[in-house]
Amino acid sequence: MYSQGLQDAKGGPEPEALLKAFQKRIDNEEKIEPRDWMPEAYRKTLIRQMSQHAHSEIVGQLPEGNWITRAPTLKRKMILLAKVQDEAGHGLYIYSATETLGITREEMTRQLLSGEAKYSSIFNYPTPSWADMGAIGWLVDGAAIMNQVPLCRASYGPYARSMIRICKEESFHQRQGYDIMTVLARGSEAQKKMAQDALNRTWWPALMMFGPSDKDSKHSAQSMKWKIKRFSNDDLRQKFVDVTVPQAEHLGLTIPDEDLKWNEETGHYDFGEIDWDEFINVIKGNGPCNKERLAARQNAHDEGQWVRKAADVYQQNQQDAA
Amino acid sequence: MKLYEIFIRAKSGLNHRHVGSLHAADAQMALQNARDVYTRREEGVSIWVVEAAHISASNPEQSEPWFDPAADKIYRHPTFYPLDKEVDNM
């Protein structure tokens, strides 16, 4: 956006008065816009958070892209195509919003492909059955909505605005997923089994999407103060469990957690301990599909090279002709 | 490629409104990309694309001297003028 030519606020400590005025604006629920003064740490944290978010949307196309040519009906194929196209669009909204902070698209792509930048751990799991398309829409997009709705009020204007667009579209993603699960859960024994199997495999990785437990979340306090994170990881995870369990029960499916039970006192579901070793392992790059996903992105980047080059030459020719 | 700012008119009768940006080699490509990125659900009936480099913006650091002079001119608003009850709602 219109942030080009901005000078980097580099060198020397940032003036106390500016820092105070900045925090006061945030406390007053004012939005920060690209050309406004902001602390370098705020800019850097946002670039990290937003680019990770954008990368997740882009890599998130891969597990579902796997089923476009194998969708069971033409209707399902059209829906899945539309959903995967939305994910590409979501990536683009957030990439362009991130660029307003002074980082280029090329640099973000480089960080993704080199493994410097992370993306959501959930996309490093395989999608071996059609029911996974249902489980992903219902649970993964459901968890994403839980995370993203509060970000519609994030303090950085371009981020908040892109989240508003995205949330409007995610609702379709979640419903089409639940619709797939509903059809399977009410189908033949084999179909029910498929649905249950997909739920078994997706449930825990979906809970991990909310990030480490609050006691281990190192960036949380500052991000909450800056209002680029509005609820804690554990609060959002609890909320997700509370709304999702009845949805599973409605379909006659069983959440794969023996410790899951309604707690009358707290008014919430208690649930079992997450396997944090698995989470850390996947984040570190050792999940079932990490290498495959990055290789697919690298391949798309390489195969698209001639298109970018052609566009550059075309642009040059246009300028020369003018 | 160049950076373009995208403006969309949601329906006739409304202003074009800034929705975001994208990269393109020229205006034609920017329009096509904007159609795919920003109007997948009938969000618009018209698109403007503007090269970001062609936009001149006011300086946020000058916001106070730039905009504050309007703040103390309350006589520009109708509510500045009390009306007798008998002629209320003028």
A78 CB near a chain B CB, below 8 Å? no
Nearest Cα neighbor of A253 from A211, A191, A310 is: A191
**A312 → closest Cβ in B1, B37, B57:** B1
Distance to chain B for A115, nearest Cα, Å: 24
Helix (H) or strand (E) holding A310: helix A305-321
The pLDDT value given to residue A6: 40
Cβ–Cβ gap A4/B3 under 8 Å: yes
- Of the candidates A35, A162, A312, which has its C-beta nearest B25's C-beta? A312
Residue of B nearest to A94 (CA): B20
A171 touches chain B (CB under 8 A): no
> Could you give the CA distance from residue B90 to residue B87 in angstroms, rounded to a whole number?
6
Distance from CA of A311 to the nearest CA of B (A): 6
**Residue B59 CB neighbour total at 10 angstroms:** 8
More confident residue, B88 or A276: A276
Which residues in chain A are contacts of B5 at CB distance < 8 A? 1-2
**Closest CA–CA distance from residue B88 to any residue of chain A (Å):** 36
Q: How far is CA A84 from CA A62, A64, A80, A201, B39, in A?
A: 9, 7, 6, 21, 15
Angle at A245 between CA A243 and CA A247, to 5 degrees: 80
pLDDT, tens digit (0-9, with 9 covering 90-100), for B25-39: 999 999 999 999 999
Q: Which residue of B has its CA nearest to A308?
A: B1
The set of residues, in sequence order, having a beta carbon less than 8 Å from that of B84 and lying 6+ positions away, is none
8 A C-beta contact, residue A50 and residue A98: yes
What pLDDT, on the 0 to 100 scale, is given for residue A5? Answer: 37
Which pLDDT score is estimated for A11?
58
Residues, chain A: 322
Q: Is B5 helix (H, G, I), strand (E, B) or coil?
A: strand
Q: What is the pLDDT along chain A (322 residues), one digit of tens a residue?
A: 444 334 444 556 889 999 999 999 999 999 999 999 999 999 999 999 999 999 999 999 999 998 999 999 999 999 999 999 999 999 999 999 999 999 999 999 999 999 999 999 999 999 999 999 999 999 999 999 999 999 999 999 999 999 999 999 999 999 999 999 999 999 999 999 999 999 999 999 999 999 999 988 877 889 999 999 999 999 999 999 999 999 999 999 999 999 999 999 999 999 999 999 999 999 999 999 999 999 999 999 999 999 999 999 999 998 898 8
Eight-state DSSP code of residue B40:
T
pLDDT of the residue at A14: 86
Residues 96-125 of A with CB under 8 A from B: 96-97, 99, 105
- Say if residue B3's pLDDT is above 90: yes
Name the interface residues of B facing A (CB cutoff 8 Å): 1-3, 5, 19-26, 29, 36-37, 40-41, 52-53, 55, 57, 59-61
User: B2 and A92 in contact by Cβ < 8 A?
Assistant: no
Indicate yes or no: CB of A97 within 8 angstroms of CB of B61.
no
Half-sphere exposure of A20 (CA within 13 A, CB side): 3
Cβ atoms B84, B66 nearer than 8 A: no
Q: Of residues B89 and A109, which shows the higher confidence score?
A: A109
pLDDT at A1: 41
Strand, coil or helix: B46 = strand
Place of tokens 């008014």: A267
